[in-house]
């Protein structure tokens, strides 16, 4: 008589916050899948639901609490993890029936809590399933063609508005051979775009004194420049160079060394740099580097080396003590810098941040007025920079392909240029694409039109 293997328990996942938290969710699900669990796409089919929270801002905390409440209402068996995990007492006071609360990147504790809530199937056949280690890939929560590559955890900065070090600890870098092995496996499995993430990519390896490891018969350091150089050597199974996009890059001097790699086509010509402000006074209050004039010179030099370099950043308006002169300084700086992509945020006090006790609180109506002026200025800059691309042929990675039009059968698609990271930047909207076009393909596109955020065009060739 055949042995019947009991149904594997199912786990649902709600992942909130930044890409770094998404990688945490992927690692948790990878471990659970290796333990025999199956994934559930809805609350009804899940034996237990894991909510990976964000706790960076009060607004993000409220969103996380709403997600916990929804999971409790729809399923009732909920485990909370992530950045809000250090506020377990508050979470339990609001949701006394949650099964467990764990902190950020506490993978083992989350897995143990799932085991307690929905024990894994046991048996001589299930036990033969090999364990999948984090560095060997696993469950992906992004489309097949792009993947986040987290190189470190935590941060050594003490910015006055931020509590990330309290939530995720000091900088903890991964071994460079482990990072490169994961990157190689992702590309071999179909990734065409690697997005390098951390809290501070430029500081990678500082905590382990840029420890060397053997890789492909040579010694490589745990250092941003070595990492960038090695990632630039990756090739897809078809022999092409995958896009490698650098995020959360602080403008330390050694960043200059990666720009030539972008000019050579080994790295995607894109830098995500968290400037936050430009006024020296505000930067000092933020406890941020205040060499904004030198940064402008470096940006000009970078673009001389790599004219197609796209720079994105984010800025906070209404920080305590910010004057109208400070804000005008920021606007003037942005006119000089001509950044390609800019995100704006109104200052929001975060429990535990030292900025909360700084003098000179900016009224909410002033914050809003400055925010609108910031968005108007950056939209104008973006419109001009995108308009300059009309008539050019650019490589575009395809994210989604539409259905044929009912009348004429034409097909549209959505993709991104090298200046556009997924979820946070613009898109390239394509017309009249070939019927065999698939997500993940990279095509050459003639840019026909542009607006403040997106490009519009038609494919001219396929790679």
Under a CB-based contact definition with an 8 Å cutoff, are residues 218 and 180 in contact? no
Q: Which helix (H) or strand (E) holds 164?
A: helix 164-168
Give me the phi and psi of 138, to 5 degrees please.
Answer: 160, -140
Scored b (16 or more CB within 10 A) or e, 235-259 reads eeeeeebbbbbbbbbbbeeebeebb
Under a CB-based contact definition with an 8 Å cutoff, are residues 169 and 138 in contact? no
What is each CA distance from 60 to 141, 288, 370, in whole angstroms? 20, 23, 22
Distance CA 385, CA 339 (A): 9
Question: Considering Cα of 17, then 205, then 313, then 277, what sign does the dihedral take?
Answer: positive
DSSP 242: P
What count of Cα atoms within 13 Å lies in the side-chain half-sphere of residue 264?
11
Q: How far is CA 438 from the centre of its chain?
A: 23
Q: Tokens at residue 21, please?
A: 């938290």
Phi-psi region of 123 (alpha: psi -120 to 50; beta: other; left: phi over 0): left
The secondary structure of the chain in percent helix, strand, coil, rounded to multiples of 5, reads 35, 20, 40
What count of Cα atoms within 13 Å lies in the side-chain half-sphere of residue 393?
7
Residue 179: name the closest of 209, 204, 142, 208 by CA.
Answer: 204
Point out the annotated binding site for [4Fe-4S] cluster. 18, 54, 83, 155, 159, 162
Distance CA 318, CA 326 (A): 10
Assign 67 to helix, strand or coil: helix
Contacts 24+ apart (CB under 8 A), 62-71: 63/16, 64/16, 64/17, 65/91, 65/94, 67/14, 67/16, 68/94, 68/95, 68/98, 69/94, 69/95, 71/12, 71/14, 71/43
- Residues 6 or more apart whose Cβ sits within 8 Å of residue 359: 320, 321
Assign 232 to helix, strand or coil: coil
Crossing angle between the packed helical segments 364-387 and 324-337, to the nearest 10 degrees: 10
Point out the annotated binding site. 18, 54, 83, 155, 159, 162
């Amino acid at each position: 008589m055949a042995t019947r293997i009991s149904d594997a328990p199912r786990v649902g996942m709600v992942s909130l916050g930044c890409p770094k938290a998404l990688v945490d969710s992927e690692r948790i699900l990878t471990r659970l899948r290796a333990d025999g669990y199956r994934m559930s796409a809805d609350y009804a089919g899940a034996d237990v639901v894991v909510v990976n929270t964000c706790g960076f801002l009060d607004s993000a905390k409220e969103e996380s609490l709403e997600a916990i409440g929804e999971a409790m209402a729809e399923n009732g068996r909920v485990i909370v993890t992530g950045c809000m995990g250090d506020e377990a007492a508050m979470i339990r006071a609001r949701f006394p029936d949650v099964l467990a609360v764990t902190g950020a990147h506490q993978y083992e504790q989350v897995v143990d809590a799932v085991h307690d809530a929905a024990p894994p199937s046991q048996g001589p056949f299930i036990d033969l399933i090999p364990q999948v280690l984090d560095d060997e890939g696993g469950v992906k929560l992004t489309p097949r063609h792009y993947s986040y590559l987290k190189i470190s955890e935590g941060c050594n900065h003490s910015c006055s508005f931020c509590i990330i070090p309290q939530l995720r600890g000091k900088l903890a870098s991964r071994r460079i051979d482990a990072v490169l092995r994961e990157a190689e496996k992702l590309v071999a499995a179909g990734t065409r775009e690697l997005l390098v993430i951390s809290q501070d990519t430029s500081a990678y390896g500082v905590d382990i004194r840029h420890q060397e490891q053997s890789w492909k018969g040579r010694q490589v350091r745990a250092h941003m420049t070595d990492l960038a150089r090695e990632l630039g050597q990756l090739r897809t199974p078809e022999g092409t160079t995958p896009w490698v996009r650098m995020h959360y890059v602080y403008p330390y001097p050694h960043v200059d060394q990666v720009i030539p790699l972008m000019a050579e086509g080994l790295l995607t010509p894109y830098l995500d740099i968290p400037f936050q402000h430009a006024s020296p006074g505000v930067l000092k209050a933020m406890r941020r580097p205040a060499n904004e004039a030198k940064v402008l010179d470096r940006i000009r030099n970078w673009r001389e080396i790599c004219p197609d370099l796209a720079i994105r950043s984010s800025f906070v308006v209404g920080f305590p003590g910010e004057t109208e002169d400070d804000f005008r300084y920021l606007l003037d700086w942005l006119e000089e810098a001509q950044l390609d992509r800019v995100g704006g945020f109104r200052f929001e006090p975060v429990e535990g941040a030292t900025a909360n006790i700084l003098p000179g609180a900016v009224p909410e109506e002033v914050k809003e007025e400055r925010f609108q002026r910031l968005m108007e200025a950056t939209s104008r800059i973006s419109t001009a920079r995108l308009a300059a691309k009309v008539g050019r042929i650019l490589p575009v990675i395809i994210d989604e392909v539409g259905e044929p039009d009912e009348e004429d059968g034409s097909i549209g698609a959505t993709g991104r240029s090298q200046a556009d990271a997924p979820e946070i930047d613009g898109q390239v909207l394509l017309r009249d694409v070939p019927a065999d076009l698939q997500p993940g393909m990279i095509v050459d596109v003639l840019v026909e039109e542009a607006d403040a955020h997106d490009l519009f065009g038609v494919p001219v060739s396929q790679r």
